[in-house]
Chain A
């Protein structure tokens, strides 16, 4: 008896697995055909490659030389200067305009900052925080939100009430304010990017929990879940193996769109001084610094902002394309 019902469960799972695989293939095909998603993917790839390069280089040089300011791979490549090195006195060329400007030179494609550092290099090295924090914080929020939402939707009743009320309360505190207060107090005044990441992921939990929960409520009623339950499969196993995989598609779309939102928030946090701490270069912090040179060198304010916009736009385009690709109402 037990054997037969278990094989039934497996059969059900196999069937839903096949359907899932077919849907995934379908979706990938649609994404490939979708111009918006494709462009989004190109932009994301560019940003990821740049960010990864900056991250690996910084990490390696920290490993081998102990500190960022000793040496980086960048100096071996002729187009890059060191992001933090100050030029020797006398050789410094502060506030150079970008290369396309009449006074600009190709040596500094985007000009230099008031300390004479190459701005292009700083921009490249500034990418790592935005991108990595954007992805890591969204990932953390997705995992936590998925667990909360799945448990809440699967058990229902009092557990559902308690979890969803707590999540709603979290959602009722304006995101940026929650993150700032959390970062300040969790770190005891010693601001650190790790606390900012946890703070940002806290604000994304409610969104993912609600999406997953509403999906779980319908998946829960499916025959194969009932069969699994009748066969005596543990709740924890049902949630992990059946409920979550079958409720995940909308979360994926939302997560891609959310990465853009998170990068937007992280830029704001860094601008206010709650994100990356010196000496890590970061776009938001670069804007906070350039803000003071608004009258003398406007280029400093333009490039990091454009970089942030470009990155977020990539994730938004990809998310929009993904949404269209997964939307059953839209038939390509």
Chain B
């Protein structure tokens, strides 16, 4: 019950931030020197009357606060305007693209957490031994290598040279042929993973390295804690100490890190989608900028920011769930 109240409280807290995001993005887009219509029509012969028509069509003839209000109210009613390039509602264009991005980002995080936490613990347990040094070097390479270059290298090695994985595209789990049956669905999932594997590693490596570093320091700190000494004095086995006492406390900063890492990962998705030619939100953002389709640019940027904010709230709630010390606001 208390956790539920905390959840609602955190979501309520996020409202000003979400409003702020829309203000910042709206200001950016209206900051353009010269008006967007002229940029859109640059290099084409357009009559003055047609310019006026275009301005009226995209609502650019009205004062800025009215336009902001239109945009905001449209956002909450699901009406994000019309895409100039696709000539379809923006929400429809985005619905088709959001799946691949979410699949990519979530699987990258899954990969990062599943590999980083055991490696971080191992490094902390065998501090200053060869396995610690190796995992630290791996982490150093991970935080120093651009994700898109990892992607390019993976494509060169595993797709071009060895031919083990496809170099482009993504298959969605929910796109299975409807008459496939159980075994057909199984092979469809294999295909999904087959396509997902390389981009997932490219995007997840930075997260993996970051989490691994923090996990290691936290575990080292945690293993030197008073409660661990006490548990040892009571004769609790090292295994139990590692698994129960030290581990749980050490996870708290890691949870925060996962939430904040979502920001980097969503940005990284733009690059990964470009390298692996995946039709996700990131590609849509870049393409829409190229096509001067500013309605789409604005909406994609806002949605990606909203996804990040929601991700941070979820990790905050997870934090509160794991950490018994957190009071859920309101002086409880």
Instruction: Using CB atoms and an 8 Å cutoff, list the residues of chain A in contact with chain B.
Output: 165-166, 168-178, 180-182, 184-186, 188-189, 260, 264-265, 267-268, 271-272, 284, 287, 291, 294-295, 298, 301-302, 304-305, 308-309, 312-313, 316-317
Residues of B within 8 A of A268 (CB): 146-148, 267-268, 270-271
Residues of B within 8 A of A171 (CB): 263
Known: A165-B16, A298-B156. A176 touches B143 (CB 8 A): no
Closest A residue, CB atoms, query B260: A171
Q: Quick one: which of B148, B267, B285, B305 contacts A287, CB cutoff 8 A?
A: B148
Give A313 to B152 CA distance when docked, in angstroms.
19
| Interface bits B270-294 vs A (CB < 8 Å: 1, else 0) | 1100110000000001100100100
Find residues 10-66 in chain B having any chain A CB closer than 8 Å to their own CB.
16-18, 20-21, 23-25, 28-34, 39, 42
Contact at B20–A166, with CB atoms within 8 Å?
yes
- A–B pairs, 28, beta carbons within 8 Å: A165-B17, A165-B20, A169-B21, A169-B23, A169-B24, A171-B263, A172-B17, A173-B304, A174-B304, A177-B270, A177-B304, A177-B305, A180-B285, A185-B28, A186-B28, A260-B144, A268-B268, A272-B271, A287-B152, A294-B155, A294-B156, A294-B160, A298-B156, A301-B152, A301-B156, A309-B141, A309-B145, A316-B143
Contact at B20–A176, with CB atoms within 8 Å?
no
CB distance from B210 to the nearest CB of A (A): 10
Q: Could you tell me how many residues of chain B have their Cβ less than 8 Å away from some Cβ of chain A?
A: 52
Residues of A within 8 A of B25 (CB): 173, 181
Residues of A within 8 A of B156 (CB): 294, 298, 301
Give A313 to B142 CA distance when docked, in angstroms.
10
Give A286 to B267 CA distance when docked, in angstroms.
20
Main secondary structure of the interface of B (DSSP, over half): helix
Give A170 to B24 CA distance when docked, in angstroms.
8
Find residues 237-276 in chain B having any chain A CB closer than 8 Å to their own CB.
262-264, 266-268, 270-271, 274-275
Instruction: Using CB atoms and an 8 Å cutoff, list the residues of chain B in contact with chain A.
Output: 16-18, 20-21, 23-25, 28-34, 39, 42, 140-141, 143-149, 152-153, 155-156, 160, 262-264, 266-268, 270-271, 274-275, 285-286, 289, 292, 297, 301, 304-305, 308-309, 312
Residues of A within 8 A of B297 (CB): 181, 184
Q: Quick one: which of A169, A188, A313 contacts B144, CB cutoff 8 A?
A: A313
Closest B residue, CB atoms, query A266: B146
- 14 additional A-B pairs beyond A172-B308, A294-B152, A309-B141, beta carbons within 8 Å, are A168-B20, A172-B18, A173-B304, A176-B267, A176-B268, A176-B271, A177-B304, A181-B25, A184-B289, A271-B271, A272-B286, A287-B148, A302-B153, A308-B146
Q: Quick one: which of B21, B30, B42, B140 contacts A172, CB cutoff 8 A?
A: B21
CB distance from B191 to the nearest CB of A (A): 23
Give A295 to B304 CA distance when docked, in angstroms.
34
CB distance from B268 to the nearest CB of A (A): 7
Residues of A within 8 A of B266 (CB): 174, 176-177
Residues of B within 8 A of A188 (CB): 32-34, 39
CB distance from B262 to the nearest CB of A (A): 8
Closest A residue, CB atoms, query B33: A188
Contact at A305–B24, with CB atoms within 8 Å?
no
Known: A180-B289, A189-B292, A268-B271. A173 touches B24 (CB 8 A): yes
Give A166 to B21 CA distance when docked, in angstroms.
9
Contact at B144–A312, with CB atoms within 8 Å?
yes
Residues of B within 8 A of A305 (CB): 145-146, 149, 152-153
